[in-house]
Amino acid sequence: MPLITTEAIVLHAFDYRETSRIVRLITREMGIVSAIARGARRPRSKFGAALDLFAGGEAQVTTTMGRDLHTLTAFDATHARPALAAALDRFAAASAIAELLLRFAPEQEDAPLLAAATDALDALADAPAGGAAAVALAGAWCLVAELGFAPSLDECVACHRAIEADAMVGFHHRAGGALCSACAGEAPLARKVPPDARAMIRAWLGRLPTSPLDEPSVRAHQRLLREFLEEHLTDGGRPLRALAAWERHEVDA
Ligand SMILES: [Zn+2]
């Protein structure tokens, strides 16, 4: 049973039986990993509060060949991110980012993806009051790019013609991005995306500073992101519950 020490972030955690917890981590060495932390709920557990959601640190995982559930033998939380649980809008956004990673990240080494996840959660923890959604949208699109399916914004996904920056475009989720006006006419179900929204996604993907978003724009961007992700799911179409709850503001006080 090889022991692996790896940088990791807790993306999901739930109680298991009387004394244990099962966590799902994104790790540098193994990508997404499920592991049981035996005894984590005992009063003097060595895990303490280390396994809180969105905490980052160094995990020791004992892997078992042929098993999907490994054993977490230690977790040294160096980066607790309590700010993400302290405000409901941040918590909902962080949960959406965690869901994006759990559903799309590979079960293999991906250091750039872990770095992008770290950046996204850190930026969200530092987000100004009322600005969490826009910061999370930026982080989410950067993760999509890191996962290898960034949308095409400036070239038609059907005919590859360049699209003017000021054009209203149709957005074809399954094809993976913007359609020119000619191709959009043949795809009447495509979501319409105005030029300022397309510019915003372009800026997020380029990690450029952006101006604040008003509430209707936040909702429109959340819907666009969720619909885009739903078209790229490969694991049987279970709904993206955290993304949908974030969009509905269900966890708002
Ligand atoms: Zn076209």
User: What would the pLDDT profile of 207-253 be if each residue is shown by its tens digit?
Assistant: 998 888 999 999 999 999 999 999 998 877 789 999 999 999 865 43
> Measured between alpha carbons, how far is 221 from 138 in angstroms, rounded to an integer?
10
With 0-12 / 13-18 / 19 or more C-beta atoms within 10 angstroms meaning exposed / middle / buried, residue 66 is: exposed
- Both 29 and 145 in one domain: the answer is no
- Both 64 and 106 in one domain: the answer is no
> Measured between alpha carbons, how far is 175 from 156 in angstroms, rounded to an integer?
10
Which pLDDT does position 252 carry in this prediction? Answer: 43
Q: What number of other Cβ atoms are within 10 A of residue 44's Cβ?
A: 6
3-state secondary structure of 12: strand
**For the chain, what is the mean pLDDT?**
93
Q: Which pTM value belongs to this model?
A: 0.94
User: What would the pLDDT profile of 68-109 be if each residue is shown by its tens digit?
Assistant: 899 999 999 999 999 999 999 999 999 999 999 999 999 999
CATH of the domain at 112: 1.20.1440.120
Q: How many whole angstroms from 181 Cα to the centroid of ligand 1? A: 7
Query: What is the percent of the chain where pLDDT is above 90?
Result: 84
Q: How many whole angstroms from 164 Cα to the centroid of ligand 1? A: 12
Helical H runs in 11-131? 83-86, 88-104, 111-125
Which pLDDT does position 253 carry in this prediction? Answer: 37
Q: How many whole angstroms from 75 Cα to the centroid of ligand 1? A: 50
Which pLDDT does position 235 carry in this prediction? Answer: 76
Q: How many whole angstroms from 160 Cα to the centroid of ligand 1? A: 6
Mean pLDDT, residues 138-142 taken together? 98
> Measured between alpha carbons, how far is 27 from 33 in angstroms, rounded to an integer?
7
Q: How many whole angstroms from 183 Cα to the centroid of ligand 1? A: 4
- Both 126 and 138 in one domain: the answer is yes
- Both 96 and 75 in one domain: the answer is no
> Measured between alpha carbons, how far is 155 from 224 in angstroms, rounded to an integer?
18
Q: How many whole angstroms from 2 Cα to the centroid of ligand 1? A: 52
Domain of residue 16 covers 1-80
Residue in this structure with the two tokens 């795809």, named with its chain if needed? 187
The environment of the single-atom ion ligand 1, i.e. residues with CB closer than 5 A, is: 156, 158-159, 180, 183
Residue in this structure with the two tokens 């399954």, named with its chain if needed? 174
Identify whether the C-beta of residue 117 lies closer than 8 Å to the C-beta of residue 28.
no
Which pLDDT does position 159 carry in this prediction? Answer: 96
Looking at the DSSP bridge assignments, the partners of residue 149 are none
Domain boundary among 34, 56, 80: 80
Rounded to 5 degrees, what angle do the CA atoms 202, 207, 213 make?
A: 65
- Both 61 and 91 in one domain: the answer is no
Q: How many whole angstroms from 159 Cα to the centroid of ligand 1? A: 4
Q: How many whole angstroms from 147 Cα to the centroid of ligand 1? A: 25
Q: Which long-range contacts (CB under 8 A, 24 or more apart) does 70-76 make?
A: 70/33, 70/34, 70/35, 70/36, 71/1, 71/35, 71/36, 71/38, 72/23, 72/25, 72/35, 72/36, 72/37, 72/47, 73/3, 74/46, 75/8, 75/10, 75/37, 75/47, 75/50, 75/51, 76/50
Distance of CA 189 to the CA centre of its chain: 26
